[in-house]
Amino acid sequence: MKRHRNVKIVATLGPASSSYEMIRALHEAGADVFRLNMSHGEHSEIQARYDIIRQVEKDCGGAIGILADLQGPKLRVGVFKNGEEMLEVGQDFRLDLKDEEGDSTRVKLPHKEIFDALEPGANLLVNDGKIRLKVKDCGRDFADCEVTVGGIISNRKGVNVPDVVLPVPALSDKDRKDLEFVCGLGVDWLALSFVQRPSDMEEARALCNGRAAILAKIEKPAAVKAFDDILAVSDGIMVARGDLGVELPVANVPPIQKRLIRKCRAAAKPVIVATQMLESMIESPMPTRAEVSDVATAIYEGADAIMLSAESAAGQFPVEAVTTMNNVANEVESDPTYVEIIESQRRIAHETVADGIVSAAREIAEKTKIAAICCFSQSGTTALLVSRERPRVPIIALTTFERTARRLCLSWGVNTAMTDSVDRFKSAVIGAIRAAKAEGFAEESDKIIVTAGVPFNTPGSTNILRVAPCEERLIHSADNE
């Protein structure tokens, strides 16, 4: 399905969006990738949604990406004798490992690894930061704290520890089971939660064994500090602003978002901006002006994708939320300022022949009348390099691998087309002309740029560029050979 925008839209599926009719409506409204949230739903529900997406893909034509988001370890307090307690600012409160119900002075925190990492002065955030505790003294099985922000604390509320790197693996037992299940289904992307260090990606990559691309969710201060190293071992990034805004001062999140987007673009790896983008549309058919501005900011900054969570999974207006994102994207990308901003952020990268080829393709496209840049890409690498250039013309990635086409649904400006295997560059050019015309990106009088690697079917070998007219006689000539 041809899109008239470059940024991609990710829509989370859930109770409000589980039927064939709704999922197809979301795709037709603008969703390019669907997110399966492994924090909610049984495996049977996840499989049913996966099967529907693939049916919609078949019925509508064109690739649809599927992202499975692993839950990650959950750190929670225990239970209270009265169900909840009121904590006052300045009072003492203890967290420990005792198997006793909590009261107004203490509660169990059943995570020994937290006590092993805590130091006096560290902050503990409970219930998304609504309650804040500062550690005064701690040991192997306790932490004596002062309440710095009070409120009602109740059973099994989540705990964030922003000031220390916790000795907790990014994959829980549930995550390992979920990972194997969704890789068996055939999802295209895996999002890994609770990433703190590059090594957190290693187990997931080994278990995945190439069956899906792996995306690191940046939601902890430690991940921000180690971002360059995490990016190097990731296939993509999600800026998960929810937990990031809990563990860091909220004023820090916008500049972090900008920096991470720019670093991802420089590395030619897709980046998703996520969380609370159109939060009010869970219950309202219209977004707030601030939300529209937030979505627009991510697009202006050059994010590859913007994501809906509860808005499409559990909200009352899922189609309207996707439509709103699509409309904002179209409006922003038609603004001359958008082009100025995107091009001002471009970094010249000429480390490889492929870098030079895609840079030349973009320059030729900007200085002459070119309808599209067509790249043959088996692994997707060439398409990612062209996407990094943020050209003013459409990008068409031609591949023989359905898996590659689906993964590229997350990348800025990339339109995918399946093609037969080719062994000559002339055949590649003819295939590119056919695809560009069939997909509505070029007409008989247009020219396209074709990039490919010779010898063919060798990942990362892009080394040739040609400007080709889309004349029918070329196709007929090739057919008659």
Q: Give pLDDT tens digits along the chain (481 positions).
A: 578 899 999 999 999 999 999 999 999 999 999 999 999 989 999 999 999 999 999 999 999 999 999 999 999 999 999 999 999 999 999 999 999 999 999 999 999 999 999 999 999 999 989 999 999 999 999 999 999 999 999 999 999 999 889 999 999 999 999 999 999 999 999 999 999 999 999 999 999 999 999 999 999 999 999 999 999 999 999 999 988 999 999 999 999 999 999 999 999 999 999 999 999 999 999 999 999 999 999 999 999 999 999 999 999 999 999 999 999 999 999 999 999 999 998 877 667 888 999 999 999 999 999 999 999 988 899 999 999 999 999 999 999 999 999 999 999 999 999 988 877 888 888 989 999 999 899 999 999 999 988 777 666 678 899 999 998 776 666 555 5
- Say which amino acid occupies 261: I
- Known catalytic residue at 275: yes
| 3-class SS of residue 273 | strand
| DSSP summary character for residue 80 | B
35 is catalytic: yes
Contact between 62 and 416 under an 8 Å Cβ cutoff? The reply is yes
Class of domain 8-73+169-335: alpha beta
Domain edges within the chain: 8-73+169-335, 84-160, 353-479
CATH H superfamily, domain 353-479: Pyruvate kinase, C-terminal domain (3.40.1380.20)
Q: Is 76 tagged catalytic? A: yes
With beta carbons less than 8 A apart as the criterion, state whether 190 and 236 touch. no
Catalytic choice (5, 8, 35, 388)? 35
Those residues with Cβ within 8 angstroms of residue 314's Cβ, 6 or more apart along the chain or in another chain? 14, 15, 16, 282
Please state, in angstroms and rounded to a whole number, the distance separating the CA atoms of residues 52 and 18. Answer: 8
Phi-psi region of 383 (alpha: psi -120 to 50; beta: other; left: phi over 0): alpha
Active site residue 197: no
Here the tokens at position 227 are: 């971002």
Which residues face 237 on adjacent strands?
A: 216, 271
Domain formed by 84-160, architecture: Beta Barrel (2.40)
Residue 439 makes CB contacts below 8 A (sequence gap 6+) with: 2, 396, 415, 417
Active-site residue among 3, 76, 98, 262?
76
Tell me 401's DSSP state.
Answer: -
The active-site residue out of 217, 220, 241, 265 is 217
455 prior amide bond cis, ω within 30: yes
Task: Please identify which of the residues 108, 132, 269, 275 carries the catalytic annotation.
Answer: 275
